[in-house]
Each structure stands twice: as structure tokens, then as C-alpha cells.
A and B are shown apart, each in its own frame.
Chain A
Amino acid sequence: MSNPRLLAGLTATVAIALVVASCEARRNAVAPTIGGPLFHFGSFECTPFKMTGGGRIDYPPGTADKNPPASHTYETFGAHVIASGQTDANGTCLADKGELEWVDHRPEMEINGHPLNLHATAVTFAEVATDTDCRDGAAHWGGILRVQNTKQDGLDFEVWDCDNGEPGVGHDGFAISVPALDYAVMCPDPDLPPAEPTCTLTGGNRQFHPTH
């Protein structure tokens, strides 16, 4: 009778220790490597999380709400990332997986008459922002993408992702930068911490999930 009890006790102890150990991986991200974050704002930490959802941004913003639809001044996207709080040898917070599909409908961004379409081929890093006003959680993540219109591949990108409560419209935010294309949809607010260059959603929702 005592052996099963002993075994159960040992198993429980080991399981608890493993969980605690995995949750304690809260290191500040440091200098990036290739495929890592290009630069940092404020402070971040490597901790398990997931961010899901998609939306619409009317950038550059014309009003507090949608731009006139006929202006086609908007971007739509779907994006998610999952991280387990692991770091590489350089201290970069690793992403387990993620996806990004981004469509910029602005006429001036068209390529050969079609909307600019960015598609992530790899999501490599993901870190949780700690100096943020995003109520439910914020993240900075990115990797490599391809311009679907031209098949130009291997371009570094990074996004800033904010879940600021419900509904997502008027609260949550998202921003993207692709330096090699000199392309960015960012809305920095001087009154907010620099970790939040995000543009407020005019459709959709971002959902932050702490996974521990």
C-alpha cells in the first residue's frame, strides 16, 4: 500500500517542481541575433503566452473611427503567436510558432494593381511587454515574411501587439514594421510607454492568453 502512495507523492512533487521551474523563466531579452527582435522598447520578459485574433486598422487615422470606406485607407490582418518562455543562447525569447497575414488596402501601397500582401514564413521570437498600459497583456514578436505580390522572401519583421480589454475595437492595438521595405504601420503615442506604438483597432480583437 505504501509504495503506490510514495510513487504518487514523488510524481506530484516532480510535476510541481517542473511547473514552477518553467514559470520562473523570466529573463530580460537582450541583444538580438538574425531572426531575433530588431530593437527593443522598454522592458520585456520571456514568459509563456499566446496571442490570437485579427482585425482592421484605419491607418493613417483620419478620425477616431473608420476612415471613409471609399478612401480604402485601411489594413486588415490575422495574427497569432505562441511562446513557452524559452530563450536561445543569446537570451532571445523564442516563439514556438505563429502566423501573420497582412493586407494593406491603401491605393498608394498597391503592387501591380493589387493590395500589398505580407505573409509570415516563420515566427522566431516572442516576448511579453512589461512596461505597458495594455490592460490584459502586450507582446512584441516577429520573424521572417514574404511579400506575396512579388515573392520577395526572407524579410525580417516585427509586430507590437496589445490586448487592452473588450471589445477589441477602440481598445486593442497592433503595429508592424518591415525595415527592409521601409514599411511600417505604427502609431506611437508620446503619452504612452514606448512599448506601445500600436494603432488602435477599428475592427476585430486581440486576445492575450497567459498560458501558465
Chain B
Amino acid sequence: MKIEIMRRAIRLVGLVLLLTWVPGSVQGQMRAAKAESYGIAVSTATINQKAPSAVLPAGGTMVQDQASDVTVASMVTAQDAFAIVSGDGAEASDAVSSATLGTVSILNGLITANGVVAMATSTINTSNADGSSLANLVVNGVQVSDPAPNTRMDLPGVGYVVFNEQIPTGDGVTSSGITVNMIHVVLQQMGLGGVQTTGNIVVGSASSGVN
């Protein structure tokens, strides 16, 4: 009788283990490392363009893209743009992305810079934008040096711009992430219902995340 009870207990334990067992590869798939970067993105009613652009694929380790010259209509011109993403897509433990540009001119010279670095770094419980910088930034003829994160300036007749825009994501415990947009112009115009956003120009964007 006791032996029979023990056999049933062992079978029960075996069944429970079988039902709760998750292969290591599946556990790895539950976590994800994400990284994306791009030099320029313009989105309006008639334009939707992003270049150069790199996205870390699932399970991947590095992707890069580059362009010597980028011109998007009369919106943006830029030189020497590089987008690099890297990390451990398999174990989903880390991700780093960067976008760098040389000379940049936005809206026919309303905003210019000649050295843009966007850098986003994530590990499982922390993210940062360290390494990001703007060189020789000039807005409407006025020099702006080393703008703090999320510095907003109005652009009369155009909308506004946010420099060194930093958008954190994740809970900082089981996941973390950040998006860094070094120059983010929000195009606006007056409509019947008030001010309306008509487009966005982003120069130097890097995102990373681990969850």
C-alpha cells in the first residue's frame, strides 16, 4: 500500500515538472533586446522618409547603415550619417545604438549643427543617453551650447523644437529602455480647432531597450 502511494506521488511530481518545464531557448525568447537608430526621419502628410537606419534583429548582434549625403526635400540636409546598433539579441542582456551626423541643416538653415551624436545604452535594469552630444548648434542665428535633456524652444511660424529629447521606457527592474532624439522639430500650424501638428523632423535618433 505504501509503495503504491509513493509511486503515485512520484508520478504526480513528474507530471508537475513536465507541465512546468520551460526549455532554456524558450526562456531566452521571452526576453528581448531592442535597438534602433537613424540619422534623419521626416514625416509629414506628403513625406515619410528615414535614412540611414539600423534595427537590431531578433537574435542578432549588430547592424549598421550609413549615407554620405542625405537630403529630404527642403526639410533637412545632412552629411556623413552613420547608424549602428549592437547588442546581444540572443540572451537579451544588452543593447547599444548610436546615430552620428556631420553637417546638418534643417528648414533651410533655421537650425544648423556640425556634429550630432545620439547614443542609447540599455542593460536589464538601467538605460542611459551618455555619449550623446550636439556641436555648434545654431537656432535662427543664435548659438545654443550643450542643451540639457528635453530643452524646448519655440520656432515662431514653424512650431517648436526639442533638443536632446530623452524618453525613458520600462520599469527599471525587469525592463529598461530609452529613446534619444538630439533634434526633434514638431511642425505646427493653426487649424480650425487650434494648433495642429502637421509633421515631425528628427535628426539623430537612438533607441535601446532590454526586457
Binding site for B on A (CB under 8 A): 50, 52-56, 66, 69-72, 74, 76-80, 82, 99, 101, 103, 105, 114-115, 117, 148, 166-169, 201-205, 207, 209
* 8 A Cβ contacts from B57-76 to A: 61-62, 64, 66, 68
Q: Which 4 A-B pairs have the closest CB atoms?
A: A203-B131, A69-B135, A78-B86, A56-B131
- Measured between beta carbons, the chain B residues less than 8 angstroms from A69 are 115, 117, 133-136, 146
- Measured between beta carbons, the chain A residues less than 8 angstroms from B79 are 114
CA gap between A3 and B46 in the complex, in Å: 71
Task: Please name the residue on chain A nearest to B85 by beta carbon.
Answer: A78
* 8 A Cβ contacts from B108-133 to A: 115, 117, 119, 121, 123, 126, 128, 130-133
With an 8 Å Cβ cutoff, the count of chain B residues facing the other chain is 36
Q: Which of B82, B86, B133, B136 contacts A53 (CB 8 A)?
A: B86
* 8 A Cβ contacts from B136-180 to A: 136, 146
A to B CB contacts below 8 Å, 25 in the list: A54-B96, A55-B98, A55-B121, A56-B131, A69-B134, A69-B136, A70-B136, A76-B119, A77-B84, A78-B62, A78-B85, A79-B62, A80-B62, A82-B61, A99-B61, A103-B84, A114-B80, A117-B66, A148-B66, A169-B130, A203-B98, A203-B119, A207-B88, A209-B88, A209-B93
Q: Are A76 and B100 in contact (CB under 8 A)?
A: yes
Q: Which of B62, B117, B121, B136 contacts A101 (CB 8 A)?
A: B62
Total A-B residue contacts, Cβ distance less than 8 Å? 130
Q: Are A203 and B88 in contact (CB under 8 A)?
A: no
Closest Cβ of chain B: how far from A171's Cβ, in Å? Answer: 11
Q: Are B68 and A114 in contact (CB under 8 A)?
A: yes
CA gap between A79 and B68 in the complex, in Å: 21
Task: Please name the residue on chain B nearest to A163 by beta carbon.
Answer: B94
Closest Cβ of chain A: how far from B72's Cβ, in Å? Answer: 20
Q: Are B98 and A204 in contact (CB under 8 A)?
A: yes
- Measured between beta carbons, the chain A residues less than 8 angstroms from B94 are 52-53, 205, 207
Q: Which of B80, B84, B98 contacts A115 (CB 8 A)?
A: B80
Q: Does B199 contact A (CB under 8 A)?
A: no
Q: Are A54 and B84 in contact (CB under 8 A)?
A: yes
Q: Are A167 and B61 in contact (CB under 8 A)?
A: no
Q: Are B121 and A204 in contact (CB under 8 A)?
A: yes
Q: Are A207 and B80 in contact (CB under 8 A)?
A: no
Closest Cβ of chain B: how far from A112's Cβ, in Å? Answer: 10
Q: Which of B61, B66, B102, B126 contacts A80 (CB 8 A)?
A: B61
CA gap between A55 and B117 in the complex, in Å: 11
Q: Does B87 contact A (CB under 8 A)?
A: yes
Closest Cβ of chain B: how far from A82's Cβ, in Å? Answer: 8
Task: Please name the residue on chain B nearest to A57 by beta carbon.
Answer: B131
- Measured between beta carbons, the chain A residues less than 8 angstroms from B130 are 167, 169, 202-204
- Measured between beta carbons, the chain A residues less than 8 angstroms from B117 are 56, 69, 74, 76, 203
CA gap between A82 and B90 in the complex, in Å: 12
Q: Are B88 and A52 in contact (CB under 8 A)?
A: yes
- Measured between beta carbons, the chain A residues less than 8 angstroms from B131 are 55-56, 66, 76, 169, 201-204
Task: Please name the residue on chain A nearest to B66 by beta carbon.
Answer: A117
Closest Cβ of chain B: how far from A81's Cβ, in Å? Answer: 9
Q: Are B135 and A70 in contact (CB under 8 A)?
A: yes
CA gap between A138 and B136 in the complex, in Å: 36
Task: Please name the residue on chain A nearest to B127 by beta carbon.
Answer: A167
Contact (A169, B123) CB under 8 Å given A66-B133, A80-B61: no
- Measured between beta carbons, the chain B residues less than 8 angstroms from A204 are 96, 98, 119, 121, 130-131
- Measured between beta carbons, the chain A residues less than 8 angstroms from B93 are 207, 209
